Amino acid sequence: MDKVFKVLEQLETHRYPEESKPVGGYGAGIAVINGKRRVIFEKTGKVSDVSPVKRLSETVKVNEANVLVGHVRMPSKEFMSTAEFRETAQPYMAKCYSDLVVVSAHNGWVANYKTLREKLGGKHVFESEKVGLIDSEVIPHLFETRLVEKGGHVEEALDSVFQCLEGSNTVCLLHVGKEDLFMHLIHKGETRGLNVWTNNQGEIIFCSRKEALTSEFTKLLVKSEFREKLSVKWREEKSIKFSLRVL
């Protein structure tokens, strides 16, 4: 886990010369799947006296993990006023249907998030609504709804989510079913980047910034025979839908 936090710390301040803001600094979180397929979840909002990742590393009680989603947050201007609250940090988790949990991490702007929230209705419980709905939290609830509506057909559900999202967005969806565990990735429009590595063992590693990840995980990438599956640079326009069954 030390290496994971080092990557998140680098992401927190990473910024290309042309960028006006770093990738993070206004919240951080992780979600881990344990051996019993339960989600261990911890996150923090913006902290005044220390980096959110530093605070997160002090509270997380997990020493190692095989399945993990991490996130650092730089909120859009609309959401800056609530950045201090834990409820606005990611990842988000949706579990509004039996035998299904969806964990999401998102970078970008869901332009039609209010409309999507209204269509989802009252069945869904949104953590961020305690302080003000965040666009990112709509995504896992939308996916779980589409998955149920499509009779469990993963590709159809993912395609529906892709079509519904307006704006430029990168999305990770960790889909924990009764029998299956999937990692889904969406890239649409121009975002802050997406880099994905896979190997023949059914494993996947991904990060918005290649520099942050390779600085800590190059040895693992080589040792476990990971190969670069795809790379989307900052401000590169590309449409991607990708799913991997996690072994």
Across the range 25-51, mean pLDDT stands at: 90
Q: How far apart are the first and last CA of the chain?
A: 20
Going by pLDDT thresholds of 50, 70 and 90, the confidence category of residue 223 is very high
With a cut of 70, say whether residue 247 has pLDDT above it: no
Query: pTM for this one?
Result: 0.95
Token pair of 103 as six digits:
């964990």
Residue 1 has a pLDDT of 86
Residue 246 has a pLDDT of 85
Say which DSSP state 85 is in. Answer: S
With a cut of 90, say whether residue 43 has pLDDT above it: yes
With a cut of 80, say whether residue 36 has pLDDT above it: no
157: amino acid identity, one letter: A
Across the range 166-176, mean pLDDT stands at: 97
Residue 80 has a pLDDT of 95
Residue 158 has a pLDDT of 98
**Left, alpha or beta for 18 (phi > 0: left; psi -120 to 50: alpha)?**
alpha
Residue 42 has a pLDDT of 95
With a cut of 70, say whether residue 238 has pLDDT above it: yes
With a cut of 90, say whether residue 55 has pLDDT above it: yes
- Distances from the Cα of 202 to the Cα of 37, 86, 183, 210, angstroms: 17, 33, 11, 20
pLDDT in tens, 113-170: 999 999 999 899 999 999 999 999 999 999 999 999 999 999 999 999 999 999 999 9
Would you identify the CATH topology of the domain 2-245? Glutamine Phosphoribosylpyrophosphate, subunit 1, domain 1 (3.60.20)
